[in-house]
Structures are given as structure tokens and as C-alpha cells.
Chains A and B, each alone.
Chain A
Amino acid sequence: MAMDTPFDEFLKEWSDNIDKVRTGAGLLSKIRDADVDVGTTPKTLIERRDKVELFRYDPIAERSVDTPVLIVYGLIGRYTMADLQPDRSLVRSLLAKGIDLWLIDWGQPGRGERWLTIDDYVDDYIDEAVERICAETGHEKITLLGICEGGVFTTCYAALHPRRVKNLVLTITPIDFHADVDDPALHRGFLNVWIRSLEASDIDLMVDALGVIPGEFMSSVFSLMTPMRSIAKYNVDLIDTVDDRDKLMNFLRMEKWLADRPDHPGSAGRQWLHDLYQENKLIKGEFALSGRKVDLGAVKMPILNVFALDDHIVPPNCSKALGQKAGSKDYTEIPLPGGHVGLFVSSRSQGGLTKNIADWLTARDG
């Protein structure tokens, strides 16, 4: 029996790929944007303040952790990353563990929010949400669950308003913005390197000219951080996805989340880039909100700090730095495999993140 030559194999695979693309084109033609649903876990609007909305997720299991948990996402991207689809949803799996889950949705800030500062987000919007949750549930303290920039906001809130925070859970949160310098991995920490290469006046110029840090601009920056993945994602990488409806829907949901990147309010962006990324004021104890310095030593409540070992956006060292500065005697660090986004949306990481958070919360409830 004659052996296939490499050329024969190439032709066969080429033919298979043509079939896949044809099947994929057929699938794509039947999918409408409205079919690509993200953030679908049922929730109830409790309060609206300007563009900011406070939601309470509808329970799906018997309550096992009494203390309410407020999810605070950052202003770069949207909370839907934590609720991408039913089988890849931190939100849904925490609800399934019997946790009373709340969410702040920052909405879609635009030029009208140019003057909003991190002070406003921490001392007004988060504070108002926490007060409302306490009023609704009868608790004096709640748990804050911060994601990325939202983790910085919740850390600041915990330092400035400790009487309202029972536990602080952080995921992929930068605390020391210069800790990337010691990271030998070249693919990590581009954001830190690039922002440090700018002058403070460049950031002023951006905020003054645009009023915001545009979402599209941030998207292009993130694409540049993984150059070959960005180049291959709509062609080579798609070949193995395009003819499988489930895989294709996963891909399209991720694309929808990526495309839904709001503008970052200008003044808050100036603080984020200049005070934190350039000047590294948080870890130095020099970052001030509403006239008060954020003292990490004042964060004395239990802290769970989860970070992704291959996070190219927030290098692990930037997150781990909190352990040295926080005042808490109950500090837990959990490194998990995966990247910045993969920690929340990859099939591999599902379950691990939720279990760690739920177990940790259960042990500290009551």
C-alpha cells in the first residue's frame, strides 16, 4: 500500500480546511449579533446613580455564605468577562455556591464623564453601593471582590472605609506598578513599560485632547501586547473553531466582550496612568483620594489575593506586592494557572477560581 507523501497530506488537509471554512461560513450566516449573548445571569437593578448601576443577582442556590459580596470591575473593559456564558461564568458559579452576589456596572462613560476621578469612583459610587447593600441586607459590613482596576478601587475603599469591609477579595489586581521590572518574562508587563516610556505631559495631552482614554485605543494597545495571537486570530486560529457551533459561539462571545470596551473617564485615567503606573504612588503610600492618603497598612481585614501566573497585563509580581504592605494578619495568596482573561473565561480555569473564593469566604463567614 502506497504511503502518503507530505504533499498528499498537505492537499488532504487543505481540502479538509476548505470544508471547515465552508461549514463555518454556513454557521456564521445563521448567527445574528443578538444571538451572541454575554452577561446573561439574571439580576435585578437596585439603584442607579448617574450612569452607574447597582445590581443584585437572583439566587440560584440556598444561601451558604451570609455576608453579601459586591463585585467591582474596572473601567477598562466590562464586568461581562466574569459572566461570559453560562458554563464560563464566575458569577454563575459563585451563585451556585450559595453566595449573595451584587454587582456595580459602570455603564458606558463618555466625554460627559471626563471630570470623574478615582476619588469619585471610590468615595462616592462604591461607597454609595456599599451603604445601599448594608441597608438592604441589614449587614454592617460586606465583602468586596475587585477585578483588575476594580481591585485597586476596592483596595483603596477598604483602606479608607474599613468599617464597612468584612473581607477583601482581589483578582488580577496591580498594587506595585513597577514590580514588572524584575520579571524576566519579556511578554509580560508591556503596559507598564509603555506607560513609563511616556512623559506626564503626554498623558495630559491625551486627556485634554480626547477627554477620555478611548476604548478603541486601549483595544489596540492590548492587541499589540500579543502580536502573533492578534495576527492569527481571524485566520489560522479560526480554522479549528469555525465549523463547531459551540466553539464558534465561545469565540464570538469573547469577541463581543473585547469589542465592548468603554472609554475610560479622563481625570480618572490621568490618575491611573500618571499617579499609579508612572509614579507608583499606591505602594509608596502616596496615593490620595478625597484628600486622604491610601494607607495599605490600614487594610486589616482578611484578604484573598488571586493572581494568574501567566498574566501578561498585570504581571504576578505586581499583584503579590500587596502581601508585604497590607496590614492584614489574615492574608492568603492564590496563584492560579492561566492569563489575565483566561483566569475567568477559559474552560481550564472554570471551577478552580470559584472553589478557592467560595471556600475562603465560607471559612470567614459568620
Chain B
Amino acid sequence: MTTGAENATEKTSRAFEEMAEFWKSMVQTSGDAGKAWADSIMPLLSSRMAEANPLGATQGGGIAEAIRQLVEGPKLADVWDIDRQLISLSAAWFEMRQRMASYQVIAAAPWAKTFERYNAALAAEVTDGEKRKAGWRKDFADWSAIANEEMTKNQRSEEFLAAQRDLLRAALTLRAQQQQFADTVAKSLGYPTLKDFDELTRQLAELRRELRRRVRADRDRYTNGDLA
């Protein structure tokens, strides 16, 4: 004969067991989902993002080729160069966007791996029958340690280094094109350009260097004589 209290305890135990089973299956499912996402969606996402700009979409097509020829072709004396500069600027902007997309895809890869590893760790805890009494701080610390490790590994990988280099190159090329265009506009309005400023500061730096070299030589002659 069982008492009411024992019935309640059994029911509670059963409920906990069911919850544990449910938790285990959820963790397993989400782990599988994470892996499936990483395995199947990432390459698709990667290629879509790389195509997500006009130049990317037309790679190998007529428009991209025409833009490239306009930008890289020989200069013509009687064609206003500002058109060419504008096209170069647009091409550089599209290139930068494409490199940014490629970089973001590679930089985001560790998140999927973190998700997968963290879920596997959780599932293992449940499978081992270990009583989870974590709290958000420990959970965050565990997740954070895995994420940090994955990102650190990723940031040393060849594909990350290549994507980072390509993005930097594209961003700097865009900046150079922007500067060239701004200088062209400034020049047409009679304002000094950044090139003028750089040239002026170069002359100033060299002049100062030369002057100070002479002053130092005089000082050293005096000091050496004085010390001797």
C-alpha cells in the first residue's frame, strides 16, 4: 500500500526523468541541426553572399568585362578622365563589398562550430547522468571558452588570412580611388589637394631633417672636443 506522499514523489521523479529525456533529445536535435546548418547552409550562404553585388552577379559576364576594360584600358586624350575615375570608384566599391561579404562568411564560421561543440558538451553532461547545476555564468563561461578557441583557430587559418588581406587591399584601393576623385574635384575648383599637402609636408620634413642634421653635427663637434 502506498501513501499519497510516495505517489507524489514517484510522479515527481517520473516527471524529472521525462524532462531529462526531453532535454537530452532537444540537445541532440539542436546539435544535429547545428551540424546540418554548418555542413549544408554555410557553403550556400557563402556563395550567395559572394554573389550579392552587381559585379559578383555578373562575374564572367559582359557588364563586368566592360567595366574592367573601361577601368583598366588605355587612357584616351580627349575623353574626360572623371568618367573613368567614377567608374573606377564604383568598381572599387563593389570589390570592397564583395571582399567584405567573403570575409564575414569566413569570420562567422566559428559560431556554427561553437554551437555544435557546446551542444555536444551539454548532451554529454546529460548522457553521463551528471546533475546540471550550472547557472548562466558558468554556461556563458563554457560557451565563451569554446567560442574563443574556435575564433582563435579560425583567425590563424589560411582562408581567414587570405580573406582579411583581400578585404584590407580592397578597402585601401577604394580609399585611394576616393582620394583621387576628391583631388580631381578639388583641383577643378582651385583648392589645394591632399597630394599638395603631402608634397608640402614632405618638403618640410626633409628641410627640417637637413637643418637639424647640421645643427647636430655642430653640437657633436663641440661636445666631442669639449669632452676630449
The CA of A187 and the CA of B153, in the complex, are separated in Å by: 9
- Assess whether B68 is interfacial by the CB under 8 Å rule: no
- The 4 lowest CB-CB distance pairs between A and B, nearest first, are A115-B205, A197-B161, A228-B148, A227-B151
| Known contacts A202-B169, A232-B144; A187 and B152 CB within 8 A of each other | yes
Among the stretches B39-47, B83-91, B94-102, B132-140, the one at the interface with A is B132-140
Q: Is the CB of B172 within 8 A of A124?
A: no
Which residue of A6, A114, A205 is within 8 Å of B198 (Cβ)?
Answer: A114
Chain B, residue nearest A232 (CB): B144
Chain B, residue nearest A50 (CB): B208
> For chain B residues 130-174, which have a beta carbon within 8 Å of chain A?
132-136, 140, 144-145, 147-149, 151-153, 155-156, 161-162, 164-165, 168-169, 172-173
Chain B interface residue bracket vs A:
35 or more
Residues of chain A contacted by B165 (CB below 8 angstroms): 197-199, 202
Residues of chain A contacted by B134 (CB below 8 angstroms): 6
Chain A contact residues, majority secondary structure: helix
> How close is A251's CB to chain B, nearest CB, in angstroms?
19
> How close is A322's CB to chain B, nearest CB, in angstroms?
26
Interfacial residues, chain A to chain B (CB-CB below 8 A):
6, 9-10, 13, 50, 111-116, 120, 124, 127, 131, 140, 186-187, 190, 193-194, 197-199, 202, 205-206, 208-211, 224, 227-229, 232, 236
Residues of chain A contacted by B164 (CB below 8 angstroms): 194, 197
Q: Is the CB of A13 within 8 A of B135?
A: yes
Known: A198-B165, A205-B172, A236-B140. 6 other contacts (CB 8 A): A6-B135, A10-B135, A114-B198, A115-B206, A190-B156, A227-B148
Chain B contact residues, majority secondary structure: helix
The CA of A202 and the CA of B216, in the complex, are separated in Å by: 36
Residues of chain B contacted by A190 (CB below 8 angstroms): 155-156
Residues of chain B contacted by A205 (CB below 8 angstroms): 169, 172-173, 176
The CA of A228 and the CA of B140, in the complex, are separated in Å by: 11
Residues of chain B contacted by A224 (CB below 8 angstroms): 155
- Assess whether B212 is interfacial by the CB under 8 Å rule: yes
Chain B, residue nearest A187 (CB): B152
Which residue of B179, B208, B216, B227 is within 8 Å of A209 (Cβ)?
Answer: B179
Which residue of A13, A111, A194 is within 8 Å of B201 (Cβ)?
Answer: A111
The CA of A10 and the CA of B137, in the complex, are separated in Å by: 10
- Assess whether B202 is interfacial by the CB under 8 Å rule: yes
- Assess whether B214 is interfacial by the CB under 8 Å rule: no
> How close is A75's CB to chain B, nearest CB, in angstroms?
16
- Assess whether B219 is interfacial by the CB under 8 Å rule: yes
Residues of chain B contacted by A206 (CB below 8 angstroms): 168, 172
